[in-house]
């Protein structure tokens, strides 16, 4: 009887002990109770039934790949490779989590270097964009466009899935088609009286970027050539002269510049193999510069490789070879190599691709500044040194996907050493631009070099900034570290915003002085990154402190947009981002204000409560997590002696098995999945330019 009396009670006890063993991904993120159904009640109530997914049971404890930033749905398989066929290395097939197939979302295909499980897995499809003709091109992780993807993902996962307007058609204005000219049957004419003016404009356009000639000798040779009293009428030297005129005329006479450019390019290609000399290097370098200023970076990337290969072929990278031609020629050849390194790193950083040149087997010294010139400043020396530091960040951090406080500290000392030599001198030149104390060539070169310096700081610190934003907004981040480590990460995050602010202030001063041309591909690319940093940084502890700087950066982009369609696109993107972040901050402040009002009402009964508003706010508490933090103490930086050399190859030759910060490493490349499961590859990086209408000013 005892057995019979206990039997009926057992099912009820089991029912009371039954629990939900797995919550859906959204309930886990929001930290709300999930009923385990498919779809669950919470997702159904929030109109997210189509995206209610459950991570695989083996997800806990596995290393999150770099392609999955906080908030992304986890996809875990036997080898962290979804959709693998059973025949590959004997691995079993891993399908997508239930629910993603129903929405039509595709899992991000990834590839590791040795086809096995690794901590860092590179998403391939997220970096293939469309050019003006619809062809797929590769954009690397350090490129400003990749940073845009990272920012888009942060907004979609932590702020508003529809915060950035996503158009149905991908339209990436990366390569602007050249202007159409009538078929030319004769050589373009050159007026000798225009040569000096165009040469001065060429010097302004290339200041801080290249130094390929001795100015006085070039002017004399070009006047002789234009008068017809020379044998250089149809060779590589003549092509160089045409290209100098073309670059100088780009700002004011675009059609004439295009005609000279096309004729020069034909001459270079005609004599490329049978006459390989210094003029060939100079010519193809100028072709790349012209195409950069014509907003054709992929064409510049292609033609610059010809200049780099030719330079290696004739030994310009070896200073002892250059010295064998005599002292004056050695100086020119060394400058040409420095110029090649600057242009190479500019193109590499803009497109996120490996550089065409390197310091392997190179003996030209970058840290030896040449004396002479106004105020003893050689812009090329300052420029090449800062670009060598940028190269370290690109190659050692972004290309190899490794970031840690130790690497950041090392590069920061390099930047500090550069600043101790050049920062004050260059800043005095830009701040004195209104008084006219310096020539336009010197002011433009100083401005471009300072912008590269500030960009180098942002390039190093933007993973820390994104990490700090996720942490501030309440995302659960992996990676341990002491309290001191977290404070240092915040210092680097703050440095990104401070560098962006200084960038805009420097640029505004030069623009208001009327010294800056409107075709500045270097400044526009760095300015876009600066604008993104300022706009997205408002989501963090700084709030709207830098809102005025962000609006100023938009005004600067609009200054260049008169001739640069890419700058116009960048301006529209940043306007949209700033509008989204400002709305989120205002909503966050209103939420906090309502909480304070409710607390006052509970204490004193002075404020009336609206039940409808109360209910609405309680629902919002479960759908959006808003985290507030108390102000953190300012961390003053300690001074360190400038005993670090800029080029220490031994540092990066050390073993790096313990030098990867997994928490930061996620932000070296953009995420691949949005909150609703859509692939980031389906998100256009630009709004459609032709659809932007209305003449109202954003500011």
Rounded distance between C-alpha atoms, residue 147 and residue 242, angstroms:
37
User: Averaged over 548-567, what is the pLDDT?
Assistant: 94
Query: Which contacts qualify for 131-134: CB closer than 8 Å, 24 or more apart?
Result: 131/172, 131/174, 131/175, 131/298, 132/172, 132/173, 132/174, 132/175, 132/176, 132/177, 133/175
Rg for the chain, CA atoms, rounded: 29
Rounded distance between C-alpha atoms, residue 30 and residue 35, angstroms:
14
Confidence of residue 624 (pLDDT cuts 50, 70, 90): very low
Confidence of residue 644 (pLDDT cuts 50, 70, 90): very low
The pLDDT of residue 262: 92
Rounded distance between C-alpha atoms, residue 293 and residue 520, angstroms:
7
Q: Cβ-count burial of 9 within 10 angstroms (0-12 exposed, 13-18 middle, 19+ buried)?
A: exposed
Give yes or no for residue 101 having a pLDDT over 80. Answer: no
- Give me the sign of the Cα torsion angle 565, 569, 572, 577: negative
Rounded distance between C-alpha atoms, residue 153 and residue 144, angstroms:
14
Tell me how crowded residue 427 is: count the other CB atoms within 10 A of its CB.
Answer: 16
Least Cα distance to 131 among 175, 177, 178, 179 occurs for 175
The pLDDT of residue 288: 97
Q: What is the pLDDT of residues 279-313, one digit of tens each?
A: 999 999 999 999 999 999 989 999 999 999 999 99
Tell me how crowded residue 194 is: count the other CB atoms within 10 A of its CB.
Answer: 15
Least confident piece of the model among 19-28, 313-322, 656-665? 656-665
Q: Provide the terminal-to-terminal Cα distance of the chain, rounded to the nearest Å.
A: 85
The pLDDT of residue 160: 77
Q: Angle 293-299-303 (CA atoms, 0-180°, nearest 5)?
A: 100
CA distances to 375, 431, 647 from 438, rounded to whole Å, are: 9, 10, 31
* 10 vs 236: which has the higher pLDDT: 236
* 229 vs 647: which has the higher pLDDT: 229
Q: Report helix, strand or coil for 597.
A: helix
Give yes or no for residue 448 having a pLDDT over 70. Answer: yes
Rounded distance between C-alpha atoms, residue 288 and residue 656, angstroms:
36
Give yes or no for residue 116 having a pLDDT over 60. Answer: no
The pLDDT of residue 210: 94
User: Averaged over 25-33, what is the pLDDT?
Assistant: 82
The pLDDT of residue 6: 45
Give yes or no for residue 2 having a pLDDT over 50. Answer: no
Rounded distance between C-alpha atoms, residue 623 and residue 644, angstroms:
50
**Cβ atoms of 56 and 143 closer than 8 Å:** no
Q: Cβ-count burial of 453 within 10 angstroms (0-12 exposed, 13-18 middle, 19+ buried)?
A: buried
Q: How much of the chain, in percent, has pLDDT values that exceed 90?
A: 38
User: Averaged over 676-692, what is the pLDDT?
Assistant: 37
Least confident piece of the model among 357-371, 533-547, 595-609? 595-609
The pLDDT of residue 551: 95
Q: What is the pTM of this model?
A: 0.73
Task: Looking at mean pLDDT, say which of 89-93, 656-660, 676-680 comes out highest.
Answer: 656-660
Decide the pairing of beta strands 122-123 and 110-111: antiparallel
* 29 vs 8: which has the higher pLDDT: 29
The pLDDT of residue 231: 64
User: Averaged over 634-659, what is the pLDDT?
Assistant: 46
Phi, psi of 673 (to 5 degrees): -130, 135
- Give me the sign of the Cα torsion angle 311, 343, 518, 575: positive
- Give me the sign of the Cα torsion angle 600, 602, 605, 610: positive
* 11 vs 542: which has the higher pLDDT: 542
Q: What is the pLDDT of residues 310-333, one digit of tens each?
A: 999 999 999 999 999 988 899 999
Give yes or no for residue 236 having a pLDDT over 80. Answer: yes
Cβ within 8 Å of residue 585, ≥6 positions away = 538, 539, 543, 544
What are the beta bridge partners of residue 673?
Answer: 679
Confidence of residue 607 (pLDDT cuts 50, 70, 90): low
Confidence of residue 628 (pLDDT cuts 50, 70, 90): very low
The pLDDT of residue 63: 36
Q: How far is CA 226 from the centre of its chain?
A: 43
Confidence of residue 7 (pLDDT cuts 50, 70, 90): very low
The pLDDT of residue 528: 96
Give yes or no for residue 387 having a pLDDT over 60. Answer: yes
Q: How much of the chain, in percent, has pLDDT values that exceed 70?
A: 67
User: Averaged over 668-689, what is the pLDDT?
Assistant: 42
Residue with token string 């901050």: 585
- Count the residues in the chain: 699
Q: How far is CA 408 from the centre of its chain?
A: 17
Give yes or no for residue 14 having a pLDDT over 50. Answer: no
- Give me the sign of the Cα torsion angle 214, 220, 222, 228: negative
The pLDDT of residue 693: 35
Calculate the average pLDDT of the chain.
75
Rounded distance between C-alpha atoms, residue 209 and residue 194, angstroms:
23
Rounded distance between C-alpha atoms, residue 76 and residue 53, angstroms:
13
Q: Report helix, strand or coil for 347.
A: helix
**Cβ atoms of 681 and 126 closer than 8 Å:** yes
Q: What is the pLDDT of residues 449-498, one digit of tens each?
A: 999 999 999 999 998 998 889 888 877 666 667 788 888 889 999 999 99
Least confident piece of the model among 28-32, 373-377, 495-499, 582-586? 373-377
Least confident piece of the model among 122-126, 171-175, 208-212? 122-126
- Give me the sign of the Cα torsion angle 657, 658, 664, 666: positive
CA distances to 41, 47, 573 from 676, rounded to whole Å, are: 17, 11, 22
The pLDDT of residue 594: 85
Residue with token string 């209104």: 434
* 177 vs 558: which has the higher pLDDT: 558
User: Averaged over 433-459, what is the pLDDT?
Assistant: 92
Burial letters 638-670, b for 16+ CB under 10 A, else e: eeeeeebebeeeebeeeeeeeebbbbbbbbbbb
* 459 vs 588: which has the higher pLDDT: 459
Give yes or no for residue 269 having a pLDDT over 70. Answer: yes
């Amino acid at each position: 009887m005892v057995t019979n009396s206990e039997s009926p009670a057992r099912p009820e006890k089991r029912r009371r002990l039954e629990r939900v063993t797995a919550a859906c991904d959204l309930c886990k993120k929001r930290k709300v109770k999930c009923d385990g159904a498919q779809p669950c009640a919470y997702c159904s109530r929030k109109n997210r039934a189509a995206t209610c997914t459950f991570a695989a049971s083996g997800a806990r404890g596995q290393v999150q790949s770099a392609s999955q930033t906080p908030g992304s749905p986890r996809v875990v398989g036997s080898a962290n490779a979804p959709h693998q066929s059973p025949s590959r290395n004997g691995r079993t097939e891993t399908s997508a989590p239930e629910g993603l197939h129903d929405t039509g979302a595709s899992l991000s295909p990834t590839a590791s270097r040795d086809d096995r499980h690794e901590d860092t897995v590179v998403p391939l499809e997220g970096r293939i964009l469309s050019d003006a003709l619809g062809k797929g091109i590769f954009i690397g992780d350090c490129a400003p466009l990749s940073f845009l993807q990272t920012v888009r993902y942060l907004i979609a996962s932590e702020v508003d899935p529809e915060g950035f307007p996503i158009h149905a058609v991908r339209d990436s204005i990366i390569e602007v088609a050249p202007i159409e000219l009538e078929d030319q049957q004769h050589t373009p004419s050159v007026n000798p009286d225009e040569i000096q003016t165009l040469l001065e404009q060429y010097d302004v356009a290339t200041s801080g970027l290249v130094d390929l000639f001795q100015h006085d000798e070039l002017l004399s040779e070009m006047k002789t050539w234009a008068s017809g009293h020379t044998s250089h009428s149809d060779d590589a030297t003549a092509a160089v002269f045409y290209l100098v005129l073309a670059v100088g005329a780009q700002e004011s006479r675009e059609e004439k510049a295009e005609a000279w450019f096309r004729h020069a390019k034909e001459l270079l290609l005609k004599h490329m193999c049978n006459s390989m000399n210094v003029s060939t290097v100079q010519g193809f370098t100028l072709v790349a510069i012209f195409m950069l200023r014509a907003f054709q970076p992929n064409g510049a990337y292609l033609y610059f490789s010809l200049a780099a290969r030719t330079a290696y072929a004739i030994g310009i990278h070896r200073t002892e070879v250059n010295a064998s031609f005599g002292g004056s020629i050695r100086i020119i050849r060394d400058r040409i190599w420095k110029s090649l390194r600057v242009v190479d790193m500019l193109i590499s950083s803009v497109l996120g691709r490996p550089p065409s040149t390197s310091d392997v087997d190179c003996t030209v010294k970058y840290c030896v500044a040449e004396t002479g010139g106004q105020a003893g400043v050689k812009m090329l020396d300052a420029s090449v040194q800062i670009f060598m530091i940028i190269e370290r960040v690109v190659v050692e951090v972004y290309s190899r996907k490794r970031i840690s406080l130790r690497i950041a500290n090392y590069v920061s000392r390099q930047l500090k050493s550069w600043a101790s030599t050049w920062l004050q001198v260059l800043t005095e030149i830009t701040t004195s631009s209104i008084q006219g104390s310096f020539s336009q060539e010197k002011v433009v070169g100083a401005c471009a070099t300072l912008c590269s310096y500030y960009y180098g700081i942002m390039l190093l610190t933007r993973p820390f900034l994104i990490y700090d934003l996720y942490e501030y907004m309440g995302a659960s981040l992996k990676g341990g570290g002491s309290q001191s480590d977290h404070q240092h990460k915040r210092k680097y995050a703050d440095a990104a915003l401070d560098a962006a602010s200084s960038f805009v202030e420097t640029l505004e001063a030069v623009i208001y002085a009327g010294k800056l041309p409107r075709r500045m591909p270097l400044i526009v690319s760095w300015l876009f990154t600066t604008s993104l940093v300022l706009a997205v940084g408002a989501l963090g502890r700084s709030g709207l402190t830098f809102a005025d700087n962000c609006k100023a950066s938009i005004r600067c982009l609009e200054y260049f947009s008169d001739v640069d369609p890419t700058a116009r696109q960048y301006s529209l993107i940043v306007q949209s981002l700033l509008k989204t972040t400002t709305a989120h901050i205002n909503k966050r402040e209103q939420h906090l204000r309502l909480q304070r009002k409710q607390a006052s009402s509970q204490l004193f009964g002075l404020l009336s409560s609206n039940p409808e508003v109360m209910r609405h706010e309680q629902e919002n508490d479960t759908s959006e997590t808003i985290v507030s933090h108390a102000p953190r103490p300012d961390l003053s930086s300690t001074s360190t002696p400038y005993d670090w050399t800029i080029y220490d190859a031994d540092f990066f030759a050390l073993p790096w098995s313990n030098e990867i910060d997994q928490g930061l490493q996620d932000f070296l490349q953009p995420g691949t999945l949005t909150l609703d499961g859509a692939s980031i590859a389906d998100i256009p990086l630009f709004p459609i330019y032709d659809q932007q209408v209305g003449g109202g000013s954003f500011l």
